[in-house]
Amino acid sequence: MSGLTDIIFANTKNYSGEVDTRFHDLAEQFSRLQDGRTDFGGAALAVYFRGQKVIDIYTGKKSKSEQWDANTLSVCYSTGKGILATLAHILVSEGFLNYESKIAEFWPEFSQNGKSQITLRHILSHQSGLYDIRNITQSASEMADWEHMLTVVQQATPRFAVGQDIAYQALTFGWLVGGVLEKATGCSLTELMERYLVQPLQLDGAYFGVPGSELVRVARPLPKEKQQDVTTPSSTKIKKNKKSNFSDKLMQLSGQNPQDFVDAMVPHDMRNFSFFSDDGLQAIIPAANGAFTARSLAKVYAMLTNGGVWDDQEIIKPEVFSQLSKIQSIKRDRVMPIPMKWRLGYHRVITMGKRAKKGFGHIGYNGSGAWCDPQRELSFAYTHNFRIGSITGDYRLWGLSQETLRCADAVIKGHKGWF
């Protein structure tokens, strides 16, 4: 697309799937945002409202030769953190551990180098000081070895005293949370996902480590076209000794150090590792390579919207649910460029004006995202395979989130409104 005009005059019916008439405007907006770029990839959108699925649509290309379909899986980067956090809350409900549990109680080797007091709450809310991936590994390819990375994080030294600051654990979050869940239960993360999340909710696609038999379902980025000027984690390049630009200086003046972002987000030799290779997809890297259908993501958050209950099953106990969405700090952290209002594994809902005061979820580096708003009984998920990258999402995610809230408000309040 070349600009706003292309969106305004785009095809409003360029999608397949199911649409509740109350959310027809959202489906049209999805079509407008995707229509001009369906040759460069595909996307899916799913929404639940008042316990019912009201949007389940998709469009575009899954690969150069295949169209996106109802069963397509998409790599969602950090959107998967919200799913991993949800699994943690389920296991707290099951009594395996609690938010004040010290990680070292279940994982004695983790206590070395000043980590004996770190709790589950600290790692879920990014207050552990263990956000640095760049200086604890030699190569990005190490991330594909789950047991090796558990050893790496148990040997790591926090960058600040536990609970004394906040820094987004962009990549380390997966091994920290996933590791302690394994140690506390004696089961693998794959087994835990299947037993406590996939089966109870009957999810149709939710993986940390895609099974070989399911690789055919995964949407891959299409070959880069010359007219596209984009950056993804696999193509990020860090220049040594580069001079600070104005943005870097401004970040420093605000109390942030650009190097913290690099240390949290960019392992060495990232250009030679791809989350989209068969090896990358089958590896267990929960903070970055979770593969989901949009409707699986939306269904998980629909359960959260309903207070942890689904199909008369109590997935998360009320006393646990009351804690998981509470804001842990309003302080701007060391890595993210905007305030995130971190909860226990989730952050605030980012839109273009509408507010979801009690809402929470997680976005991914590629602009995917999933969230819920318990006050509106609403959940949302957007996935795609376009070659874009933004740590705070992009205008499509924000716009679709905004229109989802507006459509719900039209039903609840009788008018959509902008704010």
pLDDT of 388 reads 86
CB atoms under 10 Å from CB of 110, counted, come to 24
pLDDT at 231 over 50: no
pLDDT of 177 reads 98
Give me the phi and psi of 81, to 5 degrees please: -60, -40
* Residue 244 in domain: no
Model pLDDT for residues 87-103, shown as the tens digit of each residue: 999 999 999 999 999 99
Comparing 228 with 300, which gets the higher pLDDT? 300
Under the banding of pLDDT at 50, 70 and 90, the label for residue 389 is: confident
pLDDT of 6 reads 74
* Residue 333 in domain: yes
Mean pLDDT of 123-149: 98
pLDDT of 4 reads 72
* Residue 237 neighbours by CB under 8 Å, 6+ apart: 271
Measured CA to CA, the distance from residue 231 to residue 322 in angstroms comes to: 39
pLDDT of 219 reads 98
* Residue 91 in domain: yes
Model pLDDT for residues 343-370, shown as the tens digit of each residue: 999 999 999 999 999 999 999 999 999 9
Under the banding of pLDDT at 50, 70 and 90, the label for residue 228 is: very low
Per the confidence metrics, is the pTM higher than 0.85?
Answer: yes
Measured CA to CA, the distance from residue 232 to residue 365 in angstroms comes to: 8
pLDDT at 131 over 80: yes
Model pLDDT for residues 161-215, shown as the tens digit of each residue: 999 999 999 999 999 999 999 999 999 999 999 999 999 999 999 999 999 999 9
Under the banding of pLDDT at 50, 70 and 90, the label for residue 278 is: very high
Measured between alpha carbons, how far is residue 304 from residues 38, 55, 126, 372 in Å?
A: 32, 18, 21, 7
* Residue 407 in domain: yes
Which stretches within 52-164 are classed as H helix? 79-93, 103-106, 120-124, 146-155
Instruction: Give the start-end residues of each E strand in 160-239.
Output: 206-207
Percentage with pLDDT > 70 across the chain: 92
Q: What is the tally of structural domains in the chain? A: 1
Under the banding of pLDDT at 50, 70 and 90, the label for residue 251 is: low
pLDDT at 227 over 70: no
Structure letter (DSSP) for residue 148: H
* Residue 251 in domain: no
Measured CA to CA, the distance from residue 69 to residue 66 in angstroms comes to: 9
Question: Cβ(165)–Cβ(132) under 8 Å?
Answer: no
Percentage with pLDDT > 90 across the chain: 85
pLDDT at 137 over 70: yes
Average pLDDT, the chain: 92
pLDDT of 256 reads 77
* Residue 218 in domain: yes
* Residue 208 in domain: yes
Domain span holding position 154: 4-236+256-412
What's at 293, amino acid-wise?
T
For the domain that residue 127 is a member of, what is the CATH number? 3.40.710.10
pLDDT of 239 reads 41
pLDDT at 391 over 90: no
pLDDT of 255 reads 66
pLDDT of 381 reads 98
Under the banding of pLDDT at 50, 70 and 90, the label for residue 232 is: very low
Under the banding of pLDDT at 50, 70 and 90, the label for residue 224 is: confident
Question: Cβ(331)–Cβ(337) under 8 Å?
Answer: no
* Residue 268 in domain: yes
Under the banding of pLDDT at 50, 70 and 90, the label for residue 394 is: confident
Model pLDDT for residues 304-328, shown as the tens digit of each residue: 999 999 999 999 999 999 999 999 9
From 116, 150, 151, 153, select the one nearest 133 (Cα to Cα): 153
Question: Cβ(26)–Cβ(47) under 8 Å?
Answer: yes
